[in-house]
Amino acid sequence: MNIPSFQLDGKVALVTGGSKGIGFGMAQALGHYGAKLVITSRGVEEGENAVAQLKEENIEAVYFPCDVTKKDQVEQLVAKVVDHYGSLDILVNNAGMNIRKPLVEVEESDWDQVLTVNLKGLFLIGQACSKQMIKQNYGKIINISSILGTVGMQFQTSYAASKGGINQLTKVWAEELAPHNITVNSIGPGYIKTPMTKEWLSDPERTEWIINSTMSKRIGETSDLVGPVVFLASDTSAYVTGQILNVDGGWTAR
């Protein structure tokens, strides 16, 4: 039996929203397994600092700024990646945001902002990268969803809608791209300690509730996503597509 490897040597990975939090942690993981990285985000200083840190860890990486909600910028980004490295093998479609409010307080602008970044941005990047991967007859697309794409929770109207949309896009894209040797999967993190969740987790009662909602009885760390993202980016997952892998300490299983 031919045993596939988790190593990503020679593969080129693009990570959106890769300058901090979950995105940076997943970029580190891919880099340590041999991938050449392209980090993109809107914050230039954060992006450059992230690349500098990766290089200190002997990871090959570059930073290209991009607003994923702008189609022209997205298309330019993919062209830059291919021009710089010659291919684009892995996409970690991670850029996202959240505005937590009760339903009756959600402004139209809140809804538009979250859906534009989380869903339109993910679509634009996925579309542009797919065109390149089809040319190569190879690719790995990993969309970053959330357990809130599966379960309901108060104050998450726009965010949950966007993540549910991501889960459905994952299934549709997997069907369309399978003939081109491209797999498409989602990772649905539970609560992970990141800058985006710091304020939300600062409430002791809420934190205790989250801990008690998981089988693992703890808040997740970015390191908990290393195995899932490397698995889905490598050829060990060649027969896995259209799936949503929840990394949530057992939350959704309950």
191 is catalytic: no
- According to DSSP, residue 3 is labeled -
Residue 30 banded pLDDT, cuts 50, 70, 90 = very high
Q: How far is CA 72 from CA 17, 66, 67, 96, 124, in A?
A: 18, 10, 9, 19, 10
What are the boundaries of each domain within the chain?
Answer: 12-193+222-246
Query: What are the tens digits of pLDDT across the range 163-213?
Result: 999 999 999 999 999 999 999 999 999 989 887 787 778 888 888 988 998
Indicate the burial class of 89 (C-beta count within 10 angstroms; 0-12, 13-18, 19 or more): buried
Query: What are the tens digits of pLDDT across the range 75-91?
Result: 999 999 999 999 999 99
Supply the pLDDT for residue 202: 82
> Is residue 51's pLDDT more than 90?
yes
Query: Does this model's pTM top 0.85?
Result: yes
The answer to whether 118 touches 96, Cβ cutoff 8 Å, is yes
3-state secondary structure of 156: strand
Q: Determine whether domain 12-193+222-246 maps to CATH 3.40.50.720.
A: yes
Supply the pLDDT for residue 194: 83
Indicate the burial class of 24 (C-beta count within 10 angstroms; 0-12, 13-18, 19 or more): buried
| Active-site hit among 33, 85, 159, 191 | 159
Query: What are the tens digits of pLDDT across the range 12-27?
Result: 999 999 999 999 999 9
